[in-house]
Amino acid sequence: MATELKEKIEVGLVESRMVVLVVQVLLGFACRAPFEPGFEKLPPLAQTMKMVSFALLIVTLALLLAIPAYHRIAAGGENTRDCEAILRRFTAAALCPFATALGIDVGLASFVALGASAGVITAVAVTGIAVTCWYAVAYIRRASTPSKSGEDMEQKTEATPIKDKIKQVLTECRIVLPGTQAFLGFQLSAFLTDAFAKLPRPEQLLHLGALGLVALSGIILMTPAAYHRIAEKGNMTPQFLRLASILLLCAMVPFALGICVDFYVVLSKVIHAPGVAFGIATAAFLTFAGLWFAFPMWSRHNEAGRGSGSQTLALPN
């Protein structure tokens, strides 16, 4: 028996949040690591690999958080087959850079403790195990199971009840929020390090600005919960749904900016090439903007052009 579309999306959102909860820790540490005394003792190649891991984690986060953005912008909070397909594909795609970043980070830890050879072996082993568990086992199982695509296509796309939309937008806020809270904690701790005191004044101010942007994102993400309790008294209203959807998308803008500004600060500190660091950080921001806003808006416009109905393609009314 095919699982209902609503259940697929709700469970998929929970599953993507599981991945974000792990990514957030590694992303925060990637921001904090270059400020640790031991980081300066690493050889240049190891430091560069840490920055590669940072970049891969940014790609992972961009893919995972593109899911709630697509659901809000392109689907208007409706449970559609396209939305379920995006959720499934983006979650699967995000695991690949995450597996590589995880292997690099664990490999660097092994390198510090046991030496270069052990570090390389550990990195390859961890990445291989992750890919096997996350991809190989799943695809082998899928290949051995009769296709049920016909059943999936037969599922009707019905209007999503307001209570389900509100539950899902709050779940999506909980997907984005862990990234802000972990990143914010590591950002704050960096101010107390000797390495931060040695940064040029502009980089110090940029880090402070990034901290403010991430803090602003966290404040905006927590606003729907406070508003729902105080203004709406917990009632499920269309006004609250629209407000929560708008606030979720608004919060993602300073979050992306904060990550990219700190990525520039850290990268510039490590590679000592501000121009290159700026170019890479700009590319990271364009990745966020493309996946979180440009792609959903393009999908919305494309669906509207095919006459699929505007009621499922805009922010909830």
pTM of the predicted structure, to 2 decimals:
0.89
Within a domain: residue 188? yes
Domain presence at residue 96: yes
Distance (Å, rounded) from C-alpha 204 to C-alpha 197?
8
The closest of 270, 300, 317 to 30, measured between CA atoms, is 270
- In this structure, the number of other CB atoms found within 10 A of the CB of residue 301 comes to 11
Contact 254, 214 (CB under 8 A): yes
> Is there a contact between 266 and 192 (Cβ–Cβ < 8 Å)?
no
The helix or strand, by DSSP H or E, that contains position 168, with its residue range, turns out to be helix 162-190
CA 36 distance to own-chain centroid: 25
What is the model's pLDDT at position 228?
93
Asked if the structure places residue 317 within a domain, the reply is no
Ramachandran region of residue 234, left (φ > 0), alpha (ψ -120 to 50) or beta?
Answer: left
Quickly list DSSP for 264-316. HHHHHHHHS-HHHHHHHHHHHHHHHHIIIIIHHHHHHHHHHHTT--GGGTSS-
**pLDDT computed for residue 309 by the predictor:** 43
- What is the per-residue pLDDT for 143? 83
Residue 9 domain-assigned (yes or no): yes
Phi first, then psi: give them for residue 2, nearest 5 degrees.
-70, 140
Compute the distance between CA of residue 85 and CA of residue 103 in angstroms, rounded to an integer.
28
Residue 263 domain flag: yes
- Chunked mean pLDDT (size 10), the chain, 317 residues: 78 91 90 90 94 96 96 92 93 96 96 94 97 91 71 63 92 89 85 90 95 95 94 92 96 96 95 95 97 95 64 49
Place of tokens 């009769």: 146
pLDDT value of residue 102? 96
* Position 272, amino acid: H
Q: For residues 171 and 301, what is the distance between their CA atoms, to the nearest angstrom?
A: 26
Specify the pLDDT at position 315. Answer: 58
DSSP state of 162: H
**Cα dihedral 126→129→131→134 (10° resolution):** -120
Placement of tokens 């660097």 in the chain: 108
Q: Tokens 């999936």: give the residue.
A: 152
Amino acid at position 203, single letter:
E
Contact 296, 74 (CB under 8 A): yes
Supply the DSSP symbol for 79.
Answer: -
- Please give the single-letter amino acid code of residue 309: G
- What one-letter code names the amino acid at 47? Q
**Spatial CA neighbour of 304 closest among 74, 7, 85:** 74
How far, in Å, CA of 37 to CA of 190, rounded? 12
- Is residue 201 assigned to a domain? yes
Which residue range forms the structural domain that includes residue 284?
Answer: 5-312
Question: Do residues 126 and 107 make contact, with C-beta atoms less than 8 angstroms apart?
Answer: yes
pLDDT confidence of residue 1: 41
Answer for the pair 255, 217: CB distance below 8 angstroms, yes or no.
yes
Domain count, the chain: 1
d(CA 278, CA 301): 32
140 part of a folded domain = yes
Within-domain flag for 177: yes
